[in-house]
Amino acid sequence: MTQPQTPEPTVEADIAKGRRSVAPKTIRGRIVAGILLVIPLGVTAWLLSLLYGSALWVGTHLVNLVSRFVIWAFKLDLPPPAFNPTDATWYESLIAVVLTLVMLYLLGWLGTNAVGRRMIDLVEHIVERLPFVDTVYPSVKRMVQALSGSGKDGEQAQRVVLIDFPSDNMKALALMTNTIEDASTGQKYATVFVPTTPNPTSGYMELVPIERVTPTDMTVQMGLSTIISGGAAAPPRIHFLERGSLGKARESQEPAKK
C-alpha cells in the first residue's frame, strides 16, 4: 500500500508563508505599520492641499480682475472688489477654483490649435528676449517637456532608457531628452537626465555615447512613477531593447531625410 505523496511547496506558498511570518505582532511593529500606511495618505493630502491653495490664489486674482472689468465695462456704481480667500464663503472659494480650472483649460485649448499656437509663440518670443528670463524660461520649459514626455514626436520624443551609472556594472533609469553630434569625429551622444528618488525634478545630466544607451518599452509616466516610489511601483516585466538600436534607427532615417 503506497503512502500518499505530500505536495511539494510552491514559490507562491513560500511567499505567502513569508508574508505571514513578517506580519507585525508587537506594539512597536504595528505602530510602524500604521505610520507606513499614513505616510502615503499624508503626502497625497499635502499635495492636494498645495494644489488647492495655488488654484485658490490664482482664482482670487481672477475674480477681482473680472469684477473690476465688469464694473468698468458697464459703468456700475459699485466699490472695487477685494476678494479675500481667508474670509470667503465656500461657494466663493469654489468659484475661484473653477475660474482657475477654466483658465487652464483655455490655455490648453489655445496651445493645441494653430491660431493659439501662433499667439503663444509670439508671447514666448517676446519673453525670451528679456534679460535673465531668456536663460531661465527656455531651460524650465525644456525640463518640463522632458519630464512630461511632450514637445517632440517620433524618434526625438523623450523616452526611458538605461545607462551605465554610476559605474559600468550598475544600471540607472534615465530620460533621454536629445541627441547631439561631435562635429570633429561624428560621434553621436544622447543627452540623458537621471532623476533622483523621490524628487524627480533634481538629478544629473549626462552625455552618453548613443551606442551605450539601452532603450526600454517604459513610458515616461511609468518611469517617473518607478523613480518616485523607489522602485516599488516598477512594472513586473520590462522589455529591454538592443543596446545601440537608437543609433541604428537614426542612421537608417538620415538618408530618407536628405
pLDDT confidence of residue 150: 59
CB–CB of 70/77 below 8 Å?
no
Cα separation of the two ends of the chain: 82
**Rounded CA separation 94/101 (Å):** 11
pTM: 0.54
pLDDT tens-place string over residues 99-118? 899 988 988 888 788 878 88
214: which 3 cell numbers? Answer: 539601452
Query: At residue 251, does pLDDT exceed 60?
Result: no
CB–CB of 85/61 below 8 Å?
no
Residue with cell 482664482: 59
84: closest CA among 66, 54, 64? 64
Q: How many helices (H) and strands (E) does the chain have?
A: 7, 5
Residue with cell 551622444: 189
Instruction: Give me the chain's average pLDDT, please.
Output: 79
pLDDT confidence of residue 258: 47
97: closest CA among 48, 38, 143, 144? 48
pLDDT tens-place string over residues 167-192? 888 889 998 888 899 999 989 999 99
163: closest CA among 203, 202, 201, 198? 203
CB–CB of 63/96 below 8 Å?
yes
**Rounded CA separation 158/195 (Å):** 14
pLDDT tens-place string over residues 75-87? 888 777 777 777 7
Counted residue by residue, the chain has a size of 258
Query: At residue 59, does pLDDT exceed 90?
Result: no
Question: Mean pLDDT lowest for which of 20-29, 193-202, 212-221?
Answer: 20-29
Amino acid letter for position 7: P
pLDDT tens-place string over residues 126-162? 888 888 887 888 877 776 766 665 555 544 456 889 9
